[in-house]
Structure 1
Amino acid sequence: MPKKERHIVTKENFATARRWRGWLAVLSVGLLVLTGLGQGWTVPTAQAARAMPASFADLVEKLSPAVVNVSTTQKVKVRQGIRGLPPGSPFEEFFDQFFKNRRPNGRQNRNPGGDDDGTVTRRLRSLGSGFIIDPKGYIVTNNHVVQGADKITVRTQDGEEYEAKIVGRDREVDIALLKVEADKPLPHVEWGDSGKVRVGDWVLAIGNPFGLGGTVTAGIISARHRDISDSPYADFLQTDASINRGNSGGPMFNLDGRVVGINTAIFSPTGGNVGIGFAIPANQARKVVAQLREFGYAKRGYLGVTIQPIDKVTAEALGLEKPEGAIVAQVSPDSPAAKGGIRPGDVIIAFNGKPISDSNDLVRAVSDAGVGKKVTVDILRNGKRMTVSVTTAERPKSLTVGEQESGEEGAPGEDTLSSTLGMDLSNLNDSLREQFDIPPSIDGVLITDVSRFAAMRGFRPGDVILEVTGRRVKSVADVRQAIAALKKEGRKAALLRILRDEQYLFLSIPLERDEEED
């Protein structure tokens, strides 16, 4: 019988076999791909994303005529004095008296052309940018470019100069609308949809940096929804397109040649460009500009509530899974919220069907709703979700959004009210009411002293506790019972409604502490 051939597997031929199997697999896949291509399949490529153009020149040539330089002059009074002397110093007083005594009539004569109070009127000049949105001569820029100006001059790309008048200004969003009278239709640009802008999209910035005239820079959208100011309306686009002083008010374009933002601010330790610029989104700006054109100011919706943000401790005190929404600290009498049944302590979690993530989100949603609009408001009250209907009014110009101070967790002590809350409490009497100016109509518990722990949560001596997590309190015993009930329920924090200087606030405080901070 012939011998059967034995196949001995060694490291060498095993590796060779693996390589052959690998090549066969590649060939099989290659044949499959080629076969697929024959059947109409396509291979995905990077062409699905919009490529960077070889040049922006055609786009710039089309857009630049609608971008203008905005220059302003403003009269200001400046105090004159000996250079190098700090105001109010003894040397300044000495030299003032010295010059005064040298004059025959005893009056100071080192301020020619100035006033008797030692000031002189000077003209300050500032430069910015803007863009034409209507051939009739309507121009958009930043409010801070024209604020306080006595004279505004607009210069177009072809060198024509026009004196501009302010149609309306909005300080909250930092937008101004100007109008010039021209004897011909002016070139203009169109608004784009900033809601469709994505991080990584190409953008162009055209403006008047440092007064040099029309200057173009390119970059990408670096981020969205940046909050860089105290305004609840702050919602900026961030870009690395070079923006410098003088670019304020200029347009940011997408590659379709539409305005997606208004260049407004930069972040810089030196005052120059470091690749971090900010623009007001076009969708926000367009609404404000339309109202400035129609009314001369921005009309905003109004609920009539003072609201506060919700942090983790407050969320725990309210029994919320996560810190979302806005808590109602106070409801104005006869306001839309009061008429709709909204109460202090309610947590607004949605407005007109839109989820509310924080207090600023609510302010923007109410503002955008307009005036006289019937909307729905979803709230949490004592852990139960409910929906109320509200008709918005016009927001008063003096309204501000209350803010809650943040704090840190602190320390345990003995299981007493003072050590738990980190504050000393007292029942109200006539003497304390007079000392802390508390009206007789107010029932509550007075905070007479606070530890560092309570102070870091925002509490102050003189605050009057009105409620503890929804429970009305009129005595120290009431507070003690409310805290005990919360602990029994397993709550780790309490939410106190307080009265301070005629303002109602909600402040939260942990009921469990790990380290002494008093």
Structure 2
Amino acid sequence: MEVGPGVPGFPHGTPFDEFFEEFMGPRGLISPPVGPATSLGSGFVVDAEQGYVVTNAHVVRDADEIRVTFHDDTTVEAQVVGADDKTDIAVLKVPSEDKALQALAFGDSRTMRVGDWVLAIGNPFGLGGSVTAGIISARARDVGVGPYDDFLQTDAAINRGNSGGPVLSMDGQVVGVSTAIFSPSGGSIGIGFATPAEIAAPVVQQLLDYGHTRRGWIGVKVQSVDADMAASFGLDSARGALVAEVTPGGPAEAAGLKQGDIIVSFGGQAVGAMRDLPRMVAGAQIGAEATVVYWRDGAQYAAQVTLAELEKAEASGLLAERPTAAGLPEGGSAVLADLGVTVADITPTLRARYSLPEGLGGVVVTALDPARPLLATVLAEGDVVVEIARTPVTTAAQAASLVADARQAAPGAPVLLLI
């Protein structure tokens, strides 16, 4: 057996060799006992009488036991009232009969401006209550962690263990809930993100009222509209949300919306960018009608859509992938030389290689021209193209034909790919 300096060795095959293998491991190293995993986070009381505490959902996810320690070092057991992974907000309940709790109130995060001072309170690295100061560095940050990203960015030091702690305005109101940091080292480098109160407060209230969230849903999947896409649709500027898919049986289908429409307004509010629409729809009243203004074939139209509930749609399976159309040719590929993109029919082999859902049709991107580095900013190997020039595509050969037709009809104009 191998031993370290100063550690006696024994011949292989002796009883001592077997003893050390069993109790110290094959290299003579004592293995530490494996205990249950633990998670540290922060939180704040929002209802002192009922004992309700707000924290991050990821702090308490899959927890068998939750303990809350207050500033006076008293520790109590807590139960989860409800949690929402989409905004990373959770509500806990702690006993409040024998302890005087102090609650914080949510403020209006919409009034916070870049440069305003804030305080972040939390439990960094498990050290206990700490307060750091900073300013609002940016608003409406989308960092790609959820469908409703709209973070406040702050340079107040936020470290591991601060998750779920309050970010306070100078008048002591909660304007954000510490959620994430950007850090290559794991420690604070002055780039922290907080879920704004305008998103967190309604979620907390729904968790208290129902034990879960109740969000509006209209049954569309959308993607961004860039300048080239806007030009190909005849839209005056890059705005709105392009409908990539309409859910069969959903409210949008009933209202007449179709794949390829661009939603430019919802409920009287302009949709400036794709990411605005999910938040607008989620916050709309379930069962109410909303006016959806959309762009189709060079003209603007309006439709009345009745809001359904997202959670019920998820539970009923309405959001499951569509079945693939039968009879798709297998094995074809084509190089869209003019675009620098290679696409192929979705065969079982490619479906497995790129982990594509069984219900997904179209053609899959298998290669990008390395001489065109900008392609990688909008496309990636494994992306699936479902439409070219507003025409559904099912084979690589058809894709090549559609690109050629589009180039012939409008030389030099961008070709619209729906991903």
Residue 95 of structure 2 corresponds to 181
Q: Is the 8 A contact 2:56 2:89 kept in 1?
A: yes
AA aligned to 2:241 is A
Q: Where does 1:138-157 land on structure 2 (aligned, <5 Å)?
A: 138-157=52-71
CA distance in 2 between counterparts of 1:460 and 1:121 reads 40
Are residues 469 and 111 of structure 1, via their aligned partners in 2, closer, same or farther at CA, if it must alter by over 3 Å? same
Structure 2: distance between partners of 1:270 and 1:425: 39
Q: CA deviation at 1:140?
A: 0.2
What SS is found at the alignment partner of 1:217?
strand
CA contact (8 A) 1:308 1:401 kept: no
Alignment of 1:203-282 (within 5 A): 203-282=118-197
Equivalent residue number for residue 165 of structure 1: 79
TM-score normalised by L of structure 2: 0.75
Aligned partners of 2:388 and 2:399 also within 8 Å: no
Report deviation, 1:350. Answer: 1.3
- The structure-2 alpha-carbon separation of the partners of 1:445 and 1:292, relative to structure 1 and needing over 3 Å to count, comes to closer
Q: Aligned with 1:313: secondary structure?
A: helix
Q: By how many angstroms is 1:462 displaced?
A: 11
**Residue in 1 aligned with 2:390?**
470
1:266 positional shift = 2.0
Give the letter aligned to residue 137 of structure 1: G
Q: Cα offset for 1:478?
A: 10
3-state DSSP class of the match of 1:162? Answer: strand
- Superposition pairs of residues 381-392 of structure 1, within 5 angstroms: 381-392=296-307
Moved more, 389-398 or 162-171: 389-398
Shift of 1:288: 0.8
Are 2:266 and 1:346 equivalent residues in the alignment? no
Q: AA paired with 1:246?
A: G
Q: CA deviation at 1:129?
A: 1.2
Shift of 1:385: 0.7
What residue is the counterpart of 2:369 in the other structure?
452
| Aligned partner of residue 95 in structure 2, secondary structure | coil
Q: In structure 2, what is the Cα distance between the partners aligned to 1:260 and 1:173?
A: 15
Counterpart in 2 of 1:356? 271
Query: d(CA) in 2 for partners of 1:83 and 1:226?
Result: 53
Report the CA distance shift for 1:300/1:451 in structure 2 as closer, same or farther (over 3 A).
same
Cα pair distance change 1:230/1:205, threshold 3 Å? closer
1:173-216 Cα distance to aligned partner (Å, 9 max, x none): 11110001221552211110000011111211222222222222
Could you say which residue in structure 2 is the equivalent of 1:129?
42
Q: How much has 1:458 moved relative to structure 2?
A: 4.1
Letter in 1 for 2:413: K
* CA displacement, residues 433-482 of structure 1 (integer Å, 9 cap, x when unaligned): 99999xxxx9x9978986628985648799786x5433567996897588
CA distance in 1, matches of 2:195, 2:368: 43
**Structure in which a larger fraction of residues adopt helix:** 1
Distance 1:195 1:459, change over 3 A: closer
Query: Which residue identity does 1:328 align to in structure 2?
Result: V
Question: Partner letter of residue 128 of structure 1?
Answer: G
Map Cα deviations across residues 112-159 of structure 1 (whole Å, 9 max, x no partner): 9xxxxx997512333221111012100001112111222111122233
Please say if residues 52 and 91 of structure 2, whose CA atoms lie closer than 8 Å, have aligned partners that are also in contact. Answer: yes
Partner Cα distance (2:135, 2:101) in 1: 29
Matched residue, 2:330: none
Q: After the TM superposition, which of the residue ranges 384-393 and 470-479 deviates more from structure 2?
A: 470-479
Conserved? CA contact 1:129–1:247, under 8 Å: yes
The within-5 A match list for 1:280-299 is 280-299=195-214
* Mapped contact 2:403–2:415 kept (Cα < 8 A): no
Work out the CA distance in 1 between the residues paired with 2:172 and 2:341.
61
Q: CA deviation at 1:166?
A: 0.3
Equivalent residue number for residue 302 of structure 1: 217
Structure 1 residues 489 and 435: alpha-carbon distance in aligned structure 2, compared to 1, 3 A threshold: same
What's the C-alpha RMSD, in Å, of the aligned pairs? Answer: 4.0
- Contact 2:53 2:93 (C-alpha < 8 Å) held by counterparts: yes
Name the CA distance, whole Å, in 2 between partners of 1:309 and 1:401.
22
Helix, strand or coil for the counterpart of 2:254?
Answer: helix
Aligned counterparts of 2:58 and 2:95: Cα–Cα separation in 1 = 23
Which amino acid in structure 1 is aligned with residue 253 of structure 2? A
How far, CA to CA, are the matches of 1:344 and 1:230 in structure 2?
A: 26
Contact 1:329/1:344, CA 8 A, preserved across alignment? yes
Q: Return the offset for 1:223.
A: 1.2
Q: Distance in 1 between matches of 2:291 and 2:131?
A: 45
Give the distance between the partners of 2:385 and 2:112, measured in 1 at CA.
48
How far the C-alpha of 1:401 sits from its partner, in A, is 12
Rounded Cα–Cα distance in structure 2 between residues aligned with 1:461 and 1:210 = 39
Query: Where do 5+ consecutive residues of structure 2 fail to align?
Result: 5-12, 26-30, 322-334, 352-358
- Counterpart of 1:17 in structure 2 is none
Of 366-375 and 344-353, deviating more is 366-375
What's 1:495 paired with?
Answer: 416
8 Å CA contact 2:240–2:273 kept in 1: the answer is yes
Cα separation, partners in 2 of 1:477 and 1:310, compared to 1, 3 Å: closer
Identical-pair percentage: 42
Deviation of the 1:388 alpha carbon = 0.8
Whether contact under 8 Å (1:423, 1:447) holds in the other structure is no
Structure 1: gaps spanning 5 or more residues: 1-81, 85-96, 113-117, 403-416, 497-505, 508-518
User: Where do residues 57-68 of structure 1 align in structure 2 (5 Å cutoff)?
Assistant: none
Pair 297,119 (structure 1): closer, same or farther in 2 beyond 3 Å: farther
Find the aligned partners of 2:348 and 2:128 in 1 and give their Cα distance. 64
User: Contact 2:243–2:262 at 8 Å: present in 1 too?
Assistant: yes
The secondary structure found in structure 2 opposite 1:139 is strand
Distance 2:382 2:58 in 1: 40
CA contact (8 A) 2:365 2:385 kept: no
